[in-house]
């Protein structure tokens, strides 16, 4: 395969069967299979390359992003890394607002690609990063905040890319499972499946962090991404670090796929759906997102020692 530049390689990721983890053919003949969409095979190693590229191209088209502009973005890591790569290739400066409690690898990668980092307080997690970024944006009206939580191009990347790719590779797909952060993946893919394959059920896996991350001063400071439309999903599961770590280890042990911790949460929801389908005696082809590889999380300690130890190390960290 030949491409003109790295940015042209975004998307078109493999959809891979999981022969060991799939429940397989049931006594009544119904088959339940799991399929992993390997988004870690994007250029910077995560699904966020899609959103970053789409947001930049749409901002260029509508004229808000011009040569030499500075881009500002609140991010816990992957979106920043993707934006940093795309910004470097397109000639923009990037400033990321990032919570303190994110893995060191993510900071090093951002700096490598030339991004500048403003740290936001650990307590409050991404909520604080969004708040600080909005404040910085007000101080620098000439900077362009792409704002992944509310930018329709984030969802459009999955409406035009991720979902049609899955439907082309697996026309019999019955369920789509992805992580819920900005909600962009689920909103874009959800809308595509509602329109083109309405039988597909949309399942959200939401990482449940330690208490520090939910440390709001009052409930009115809560946050629901502007992109979120709950009619586009059918069920939503909250997955804690213990289940996420257990599943991410199962994925490498059984299928050889080395994924990031949030993928463990997504797999947990996918396996929960598989168990429901088995119980109901229904055929199911469950496609789930491998959002990134495990490389950036080695320092979190999630991949070694007992599950108890890993869970303890992740306490207070933004692990997805």
Partner 1 sequence: MAIEVRIPTILRTYTGGEKAVDASGATLAALIEDLEANHPGIKERLIEDKDGQDDLRRFVNVYVNDEDVRFTGGLGTALSDGDQIVVLPAVAGGS
- Provide the annotated active-site residues: 48, 262
Q: Which residues pair with 94 in a beta bridge?
A: 71
**Residues 17-46, interacting with partner 1 (CB under 8 A):** none
Nearer to partner 1, 59 or 83 (CB): 83
Closest by alpha carbon to 21, among 207, 292, 266? Answer: 266
For β-strands 116-120 and 93-99, DSSP reports them as: parallel
H or E element in which residue 274 lies: helix 261-280
137 touches partner 1 by CB under 8 A: no
Q: CA torsion, points 159, 241, 80, 187, in degrees to nearest 10?
A: 20
Of 78, 151, 174, 300, the one binding partner 1 by CB under 8 A: 78
Q: What is the largest CA-CA distance in the chain?
A: 64
210 touches partner 1 by CB under 8 A: no
Query: Nearest approach, Cβ of 28 to partner 1 (angstroms)?
Result: 26
193 touches partner 1 by CB under 8 A: no
267 touches partner 1 by CB under 8 A: no
Query: Nearest approach, Cβ of 27 to partner 1 (angstroms)?
Result: 27
Closest by alpha carbon to 294, among 253, 233, 240, 238? Answer: 253
Q: CA torsion, points 149, 153, 257, 77, in degrees to nearest 10?
A: -40
Q: How many residues bind partner 1 (CB under 8 A)?
A: 51
Task: Report how far residue 163's alpha carbon sits from residue 95's, in angstroms, rounded to the nearest whole number.
Answer: 30
Of 54, 192, 193, 319, the one binding partner 1 by CB under 8 A: 319
First to last CA, the chain: 31
82 touches partner 1 by CB under 8 A: no
Closest by alpha carbon to 163, among 13, 7, 9, 22? Answer: 13
Of 4, 139, 142, 211, the one binding partner 1 by CB under 8 A: 211
277 touches partner 1 by CB under 8 A: no
Of 100, 160, 234, 250, the one binding partner 1 by CB under 8 A: 234
Of 42, 44, 76, 277, the one binding partner 1 by CB under 8 A: 76
- State whether residue 260 is helix, strand or coil: coil
Query: For residue 195, what is the DSSP state?
Result: H
13 touches partner 1 by CB under 8 A: no
Instruction: Copy the structure tokens of residue 155.
Output: 């969802």
162 touches partner 1 by CB under 8 A: no
**Residues 55-74, interacting with partner 1 (CB under 8 A):** 74
Nearer to partner 1, 170 or 189 (CB): 189
Interaction site with partner 1 (CB under 8 A)? 48, 74-79, 102, 124-127, 129-130, 148-149, 179-182, 204, 206-208, 211, 213-225, 230, 233-240, 262, 318-320
């Amino acid at each position: 395969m030949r491409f003109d530049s790295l940015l042209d390689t975004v998307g078109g990721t493999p959809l891979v069967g999981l022969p060991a983890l799939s429940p397989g053919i049931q006594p009544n003949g119904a088959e339940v299979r799991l399929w992993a969409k390997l988004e870690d095979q994007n250029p910077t190693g995560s699904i966020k390359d899609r959103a970053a590229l789409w947001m930049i191209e749409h901002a260029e088209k509508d004229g808000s992003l011009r040569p030499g502009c500075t881009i500002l973005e609140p991010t816990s890591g992957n979106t920043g890394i993707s934006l940093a790569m795309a910004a470097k290739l397109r000639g923009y400066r990037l400033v990321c607002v990032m919570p303190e409690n994110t893995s060191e690898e993510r900071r090093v990668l951002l700096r490598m690609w030339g991004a500048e980092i403003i740290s936001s307080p650990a307590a409050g997690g991404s909520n604080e990063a969004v708040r600080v970024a909005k404040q910085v944006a007000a101080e620098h009206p000439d900077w362009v905040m792409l704002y992944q939580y509310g930018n329709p191009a984030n969802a459009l990347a999955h409406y035009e890319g991720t979902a049609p790719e899955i439907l082309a590779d697996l026309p019999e797909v019955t369920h789509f499972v992805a992580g819920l952060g900005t909600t962009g993946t689920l909103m874009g893919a959800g809308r595509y499946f509602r329109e083109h394959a309405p039988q597909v059920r949309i399942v959200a896996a939401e990482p449940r962090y330690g208490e520090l991350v939910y440390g709001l001063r009052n409930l009115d400071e809560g946050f629901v991404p502007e992109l979120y439309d709950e009619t586009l999903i059918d069920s939503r599961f909250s997955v804690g670090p213990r289940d996420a770590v257990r599943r991410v280890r199962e994925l490498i042990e059984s299928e050889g796929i080395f994924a990031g911790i949030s993928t463990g949460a997504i797999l947990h929801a996918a396996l929960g759906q598989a168990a429901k389908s088995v119980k109901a005696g229904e055929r199911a082809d469950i496609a789930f997102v491998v959002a990134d590889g495990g490389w950036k999380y080695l320092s979190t300690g999630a991949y070694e020692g007992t599950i108890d130890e890993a869970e303890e190390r992740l306490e207070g960290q933004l692990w997805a």
